[in-house]
Amino acid sequence: MKATNNYYDVVIIGGGVVGCAIARELSKCKVNVAVLEKEDDVSWGISCRNSGVVHAGFNNKPGTLMAQFCVEGNKSFAALCRQLDVPYKKIGKLVVAKKKEEIKELQKLKQQGDTNGVDNLQIIDLNEVKRLEPNIEGIAALYSPETAITSPYLLTIALAENALDNGVSFFLNTQVKSITRLNNSRFKINTAKGEFISSYVVNSAGLYADKIARMVGIKKYRLYPCRGEYHILDKNVSWLINHLVYPVPQAGAGGLGIHLTPTIDGNILVGPSNEYIKIKNNFSTTSPVMKMLSAEARKFLPLISPGYIIRSYSGLRAKQSPSSEGGFWDFVIEESDTVDNFINLIGIESPGLTAAQPIAKRVVEIINKKERLSPNPNFNPSRKGILRFEEQDEETKKALIKQDPDYGEIVCRCEKVTKKEILEATNNPLGARSLISIKYRTRAMMGRCQGGYCLTRIIEILREYFDLNPQEILLKGDNSYLLTRYRRNKENELCKKKKLLSLAEELPV
Ligand SMILES: Cc1cc2nc3c(=O)[nH]c(=O)nc-3n(C[C@H](O)[C@H](O)[C@H](O)COP(=O)(O)OP(=O)(O)OC[C@H]3O[C@@H](n4cnc5c(N)ncnc54)[C@H](O)[C@@H]3O)c2cc1C
């Protein structure tokens, strides 16, 4: 099947980790695919607002898709990250019991994990807990050496870039408004950027997948936003823990409890909370929850102090279970029984990041069963990310600066990001140009000062290299202008920081 104008064999709605994994998986076949994403970049839904944990699979009920895909995803994650040049570390996890009664729960979790096919789970005693985590309070733990961490947004970007390289088309700022069925049974998808026609629709719109399903008359799904708020701790206290540290999960809770998560970049996350809310895009953090997170974290890690916190953020779980029920309902990944060729992905909450690749394979299986797709002989599984100057050894750093002096200019002091990396991020293949796109690709503005130092410098680079009027530079897509006025001093530098809007408050996670 050949694409003509706005026709695609498959249109995927949603450029989160799942939509981008599906796009990449489909690009292994000879098929024309488009991804429609309402935001200015991929990964700006739930996929950039989670714990970044590659779960092992012992939390999920045996026999569910969640359990199966989590275990499969965990086992293939390292290889995926190697192919796509995405950071990944298998640091292991402790689920820590604080009281004797909780040890029984650890045994149940271990048994559940063993049934699901999780490798190397063991219950460890107080001495072993202290040996692995000297600063953590607890009497025993379930130790899962297979649990790992990654960068959820770098993975999503990498999946998208690799899919793009293999022929998938990406349309950003393209919100799907309605879908109709044409006489020839193709779909007409109306978006903020015009119409698309397709033979298949994959509804991978995360928290909005129920709304997309309703566009074709499927009313049986409802997704409830359940907010999880986090603290981010400064990198200089990364020594506090070596592993992921979780409490014993509470029966019926919609999350895994307030945990401590070392991030791939050296911070520690504290959270997430677990609160059903009414509005689907309410990513606020709130004072009572912030206090609660600190108090809960101190129960495990008494050394935590409020001065270590550099920022807060929140994510929204796409819950199928209403607040009266809580807990986890299984993923729905199926072709609609009423609308042919319309594939729904509903309730892709945690462990959706871990399971993204197996979920994508399942979607391709569904299409393949009907279409017998032939393989794409030119599929290239590899993709290179932006080289992190800070992570190179001294010799390499010297060579890089010699080769390109832009490596010799540090733009973000907290995260040691060079001008070269900023330029590479701005030239990304997806064409995402907002400051937040640069932030996720480089970590500039993510350190302790949260952009206080580097923001003006990045604006100046954008002005100088891309001839952009600084007043047109956007923080995060549509109308998110940063500057009301801009004036240069005689050294041609950004003058008067005061003229920036109070941006520090605006800069998200
Ligand atoms: C607090 C929290 C912690 C979590 N921690 C983990 C973890 O540690 N490990 C793990 O494995 N999983 C975790 N998860 C789950 C994981 O983050 C999700 O399962 C995963 O990110 C879902 O990806 P997605 O692509 O389905 O959704 P999203 O990333 O939300 O992508 C959906 C996309 O659809 C777009 N969209 C919506 N409507 C439209 C429209 N009309 N037109 C066009 N585009 C549209 C959105 O903008 C969005 O980009 C966590 C989730 C939360 C909330």
CATH of the domain spanning 88-148+224-319: 3.30.9.10
Contact 287, 293 (CB under 8 A): no
Question: Does the C-beta of 15 come closer than 6 Å to ligand 1?
Answer: yes
Which atom of ligand 1 is found nearest the CA of 42? 49
Work out the average pLDDT over 301-322.
95
> Which distant-in-sequence residues (6+ apart) come within 8 Å of 259 by Cβ?
51, 244, 245, 246, 247, 270, 271
Which residue is closest in CA terms to ligand 1's atom 35? 14
Question: Does the C-beta of 201 come closer than 6 Å to ligand 1?
Answer: no
Mutate to test the pocket of ligand 1, among 22, 41, 47, 193 (most ligand atoms within 8 A of CB): 47
Res. 495: pLDDT tops 70: no
pLDDT digits (tens, 9 = 90+) for 142-154: 999 999 999 999 9
Work out the average pLDDT over 175-181.
97
* List of E strands, 72-184: 88-89, 93-97, 122-125, 140-144, 148-150, 169-171, 176-181
pTM for the model stands at: 0.94
Res. 498: pLDDT tops 90: no
CA of 104 to the centre of ligand 1 (A): 33
Q: What is the mean pLDDT of the chain?
A: 93
Mutate to test the pocket of ligand 1, among 350, 430, 436, 478 (most ligand atoms within 8 A of CB): 350
Structure-token pair, residue 301: 């890690």
Structure-token pair, residue 340: 């042919």
Residue 121: beta bridge partners?
none
The dihedral sign for the CA sequence 137, 140, 142, 145? positive
Question: Is 55 among the catalytic positions?
Answer: yes
CA of 46 to the centre of ligand 1 (A): 3
When comparing pLDDT for 257 and 72, which is higher?
72
- Tell me what pLDDT residue 494 has: 45
Which atom of ligand 1 is found nearest the CA of 17? 25
Q: Which amino acid is at 473?
A: I
Delimiting residues of CATH 3.30.9.10 domain(s) in the chain: 88-148+224-319
Work out the average pLDDT over 339-349.
98
CA of 63 to the centre of ligand 1 (A): 23
- Tokens 């102090």 found at: 305
Question: Does the C-beta of 47 come closer than 6 Å to ligand 1?
Answer: yes
Q: Which of 55, 231, 243, 259 is catalytic?
A: 55
Residue 33: beta bridge partners?
10
Q: Which amino acid is at 294?
A: S
Q: Alpha-carbon dihedral of residues 382, 384, 390, 395, nearest 10 degrees?
A: 90
d(CA 96, CA 89): 21
